Amino acid sequence: VQLQASGGGLVQAGGSLRLSCAASGSIFSIGVMGWYRQAPGTQREFVAVIGASGSTNHADSVKGRFKISRDSAKNTVYLQMNSLKPEDTAVYYCNANLKLNRQTAYVYYWGQGTQVTVSS
């Protein structure tokens, strides 16, 4: 089981990027999926989360600019990032609450991270 994040890159301030994170492997069910980020010298921080029903929550710092969504058929979560600012520069990590079979509990898994760099 793994989470594969992609879509990061270098973009100018005001630009847009779309991150994707696909869960693969033997998965029985997926609960909450989310995005976090970590800039150099800082702690990892919450960006956005989406529940299995589609309910969402975004950090105040990204509200109105970022939007999380998911495609349950593809086991994939997305983060559309618009109006990017230099302070959005960080490694972005995806996170998913996975149930591998009927007997196991939900467990959180992390993706490997994708670098987003916003130049001024």
What's residue 27's pLDDT?
95
What's residue 104's pLDDT?
92
Report how far residue 105's alpha carbon sits from residue 2's, in angstroms, rounded to the nearest whole number: 17
What tens digit of pLDDT does each residue of 45-93 get?
Answer: 999 999 999 999 999 999 999 999 999 999 999 999 999 999 999 999 9
What tens digit of pLDDT does each residue of 86-116 get?
Answer: 999 999 999 999 999 999 999 999 999 999 9
pLDDT band at 12; cut points 50, 70, 90? very high
What's residue 106's pLDDT?
95
DSSP 26-49: S-SEEEEEEEEEE-TTS--EEEEE
